[in-house]
Amino acid sequence: MARTYVITGSASGIGATTAQMLRDRGERVIGIDLNAQAVSEMLTTLGFGCEIIAGAAADGAIVRTTVPSARLDVSIPADLLEEVARMYGYDRLPTTLLASELPAQMVDPIQALEERVRDILVGCGLTETITYSTTSLESIAKLTPDRIKSEASDYLQLANPLSREHEFMRQTLMNTALETVASNLRFVERVAIYEVARVYLLAPDERLPRQPRRLVVALCGPREERSWLRPESGAQPDGALGFYDLKGVIEQLCASLGIDDTSYRPLQHATFGSGRTAGLFLAEQQIGVLGEVHPTVRANFDLPEQTVCLAEVDLDALLATAGGLAKFKAVSRMPALKEDLALVVDEAVPPDALQAAIRKAGGALLVDVLLFDVYRGQQIGVGKKSLAYSLTFQSPDKTLDSAYVAKQRERIVRQVAQEFGASVRS
């Protein structure tokens, strides 16, 4: 069946077509100024039926156009303008600039922080990866040594998956990260990657799942890139990427984002080896986990027998507390005084908690506390450990003397003895 459209023309050029098109649609879209007679001739040449109705419109003539039944590609008035432009010649169309100003760009602060996270991690030497948001229950089960399979009802399942490997929306990024590590280790000896993506968590009494953003980091292989300065594979175990390299990446990320209220506490997790796992806490809320992958889990993903480190962090919770620009702090011109302090504590005492107590008791002029030695042996007894810290005191406007440092040292010793039962190692 033939379809009929109306083009309103004027002495100066093409106007609107039907109620859906503005009066100046033709000139605005294709940038040429043609009268109704020229439009009719071009469309008639292509087999369109055209009838010019003079004076029917307020601003000029009307071209009533009937589209041949064979031209199924012409379905809206804009298609007629395309035909006119084609007959006129694309090479003859004038080049014009936008007449209106672009609206002001609206900056999303959370998206800007997410891009900043990417910049920080790239600066740490990591490469970004992008993986599918879909996975399989078999892949998720590999994250546990016993391959415990989850219930399908706990996940959002696709009605028409591409394959069995992409049937469920993922709730963690760890399994896809380990699959990426395994794929890359077939060709390279060192993998340091990260991914920022959403997971899909079913929420009770809600139609749509929650979609929080997560960050996953995976490290494996030698610490240094291959070069003539690095020994061959015989020395790799001592120079392989490990837990503290991974922890350093997370610490650098938090420091660059202005987040200083984080802590690390030991915990148990099925994906990681016993005694090689830590939880990332923001105040008292756990927002992540990091550690060395359990040997059995490593074998589940066909990874080689070498250390593989993995971390997953709730990025939304991290960015919610991210600070703004770092404040400048003047460097003191006064000399610094250093003091070493070795404390004997129970094995269960966390070094971070002891270090926080030292900072608190040391006062404002204690500018740095560094743990440089951990000792266990018969000299200090079973179930005990010795933690040696280097303390740096410095004033912004005066020279400190040894009497001040001795007084602060005594204050620190009393505080840690009261909180942790610590004693000075003789």
The answer to whether the beta carbons of residues 287 and 318 sit under 8 Å apart is yes
CATH topology (fold) of 109-320: BirA Bifunctional Protein; domain 2 (3.30.930)
The residues, any chain, with a CB within 8 Å of residue 225's CB and separated by 6 or more, are 190
Domain ranges (residues) in the chain: 3-92, 109-320, 337-424
Give the Cβ contact number of residue 303 at 10 Å: 20
CA separation for the pair 341, 132 (Å, rounded) = 51
Helix (H) or strand (E) holding 289: strand 285-293
* Mean pLDDT along residues 294-308: 93
CA separation for the pair 267, 273 (Å, rounded) = 10
pLDDT at 248: 94
Helix (H) or strand (E) holding 62: strand 60-67
Give the Cβ contact number of residue 379 at 10 Å: 11
pLDDT at 232: 58
CA separation for the pair 294, 348 (Å, rounded) = 23
The answer to whether the beta carbons of residues 185 and 221 sit under 8 Å apart is yes
- Quick: pLDDT tens for 110-168: 888 899 999 999 999 999 999 999 999 999 999 999 888 888 889 999 999 889 999 99
Helix (H, G, I), strand (E, B) or coil at 220: strand
Q: What are phi and psi of 33, to 5 degrees?
A: -120, 100
Please check whether the two domains, 109-320 and 337-424, share a CATH topology. Answer: no
Helix (H, G, I), strand (E, B) or coil at 314: strand
pLDDT at 23: 37
Q: Bigger pLDDT: 54 or 22?
A: 54
The answer to whether the beta carbons of residues 239 and 142 sit under 8 Å apart is no
The answer to whether the beta carbons of residues 264 and 285 sit under 8 Å apart is no
Of 94-108, 114-128, 339-353, 404-418, least confident by mean pLDDT is 94-108
Pick the most confident of 25-39, 98-112, 170-184, 373-387.
170-184
pLDDT at 55: 54
Check residue 153 and report its DSSP letter. G
| SS3 of 185-216 | CCCCCCEEEEEEEECCECCCCCCCCECCEEEE
pLDDT higher than threshold 50 for residue 360: yes
The residues, any chain, with a CB within 8 Å of residue 158's CB and separated by 6 or more, are 134, 166, 167, 168, 169
User: Do the strands 191-198 and 134-135 form a parallel or antiparallel pair, or are they unpaired?
Assistant: unpaired
Across the chain, what does the average pLDDT equal?
A: 85
- Quick: pLDDT tens for 210-243: 999 999 999 999 988 777 776 554 444 458 899 9
pLDDT at 288: 94
Q: How many residues does the chain have?
A: 426
Going edge to edge, which strands form the sheet with 366-375?
366-375, 384-393, 337-346, 423-424
CA separation for the pair 149, 254 (Å, rounded) = 34
Helices 402-420 and 351-362 cross at an angle (nearest 10°) of: 140
In the block, residue with structure tokens 């209106």: 100
pLDDT band, very low/low/confident/very high, at 207 (cuts 50, 70, 90):
confident
pLDDT higher than threshold 70 for residue 58: no
CATH code reported for the domain at 337-424: 3.30.70.380
Q: How far is CA 225 from CA 75, 262, 408, in A?
A: 60, 30, 45
CATH topology (fold) of 3-92: Phenylalanyl-tRNA Synthetase; Chain B, domain 1 (3.30.56)
Of 89-98, 334-343, 397-406, least confident by mean pLDDT is 89-98
Q: Percent of the chain scored above 90 by pLDDT?
A: 51
pLDDT at 328: 77
